[in-house]
Amino acid sequence: MADNRTNPVVLRCHLDGDDVYAAAKQSLDFPVTGSEERLATKGWVYDRKLPKSSIACSTPGCAETHPPLLHAFRCPYFSRKNEQVQYFWALVCANCRFVKTPQEMEVDAQALKKFSRHNPHKPGDQPGTEVVSSPEISETPIGDVPQTQETADQPPGDIAPVTNDNPSSVNDGSEDSRTTTARAAKDGKSGDTSTNTTVNYVVAVFTMRPRWLRKHPDAAKFRIRVLSKKKFDQIAEGGDIKVLLKKRYRRWVKEEDIEEHKTKLAAWKAAIKKKKTLSAKKGKPVDLHLGKPSRRVYVFEMAPTVIDNSKFAKMNPLAPKDGTATCVYVGETCRSPTKRYKQHRSADHRARTKWGQKFFLPTFDEAFREDLLVEFQETGQSIRGLNTYEALKQELALREWLQKVGIAAYSN
């Protein structure tokens, strides 16, 4: 299958360029840490330092303690639709020294374009933006496309590339989701807005049964749900909603667009945003249950050999490979750490993971790093009593904090 390497402009950048970590080290003279697999591909170049008041860092505690100090990097890919070179973006914070994609930084890539000294939409004016006509070129990004898990603790699997037929939906690497019409979903069509990512979660709108609403007068008629892609597909294909969800649900609102995401956290963020927009549109309340505040985050130490795992290594590119790194797994659960550890290590439990079976230290007392949780909590962060959305956010914040203090950490 053809890819970006057949395009001379992109090929030149990727032959001469580095991954974002090497590019940041060379341009900014300090090492950076990141987790998005796209950042490990070749071809990243320094763009510019952003104005101080433009965008704030999303790393917990960074924006509150330091003035914004962000640097932009870009990586080219070729768009067959308009035969132009487009760009993925990355942001490096000079304070916390994390590198993130615009989606991780919670900003729109369009906001970066107005600050950039490079204009990819005026081909030929600057190096790297020439129009190149090549009908056999695919617009898949160079490098492996990350595969995510359908459940928070699903074991790692093989990474499979996913093709994309519309670069406008992923232009500049700002999105990890796609929005498609409910009608297209019902017909089994992906439409023209598919992205270059694996879809694991769907945000959809449902109505509640009148009898249930009469018994619960404070409830809203419309409710937003975050579902696994597998379960939503069963509903879209005509499965019994009372069995797949609960008897209180009446129907899936096909007239409202669905949103598809590769990570659970991204799906919940989209659901919260959709609640606001749909409520304004309907002119009436819309429900979104964030779950009971019964969840917590945890840290289990793993054997140093996990550094040879490709997924772990891509999330921790700066970790030493000589066996001296402290390697941990970060997760969130509604169970006790003891019970969750047993599930990870189990041979037959549905929540077992290859991480637990292959890499966790052999006993719970050895593996459970309560000391790291205490240190994280002392920074002002919460580790328990969290709803679903809060737990997912804290899982990410905990992993980033561990990487910042020099511990190689992995989370789904």
Tokens of 36: 């998005």
Mean pLDDT: which of 80-89, 126-135, 317-326, 329-338 is highest? 329-338
More confident residue, 80 or 59: 59
Q: For residues 205 and 191, give the distance between their C-alpha atoms in angstroms, rounded to a whole number.
A: 19
More confident residue, 106 or 268: 268
Cβ 27 vs Cβ 34: under 8 Å: no
Q: What is the pLDDT of residues 24-70, one digit of tens each?
A: 888 888 888 887 777 888 888 888 888 866 688 888 778 777 788 88
Q: Quote the pLDDT of residue 61.
A: 77
Q: Quote the pLDDT of residue 150.
A: 35
Q: Quote the pLDDT of residue 118.
A: 54
What does R_g of the chain's alpha carbons equal in angstroms?
22
Provide mean pLDDT across the span 319-336.
94
pLDDT over 60 at 212, yes or no? yes
More confident residue, 396 or 149: 396
Q: Quote the pLDDT of residue 92.
A: 92
Q: Quote the pLDDT of residue 102.
A: 85
pTM score, two decimals? 0.59
CA-closest candidate to residue 123, choices 88, 75, 79, 89: 79
DSSP-derived pairing of the beta strands 249-252 and 201-208: antiparallel
Q: What is the pLDDT of residues 374-406, one digit of tens each?
A: 999 999 999 999 999 999 999 999 999 999 999
Q: For residues 42 and 23, give the distance between their C-alpha atoms in angstroms, rounded to a whole number.
A: 9
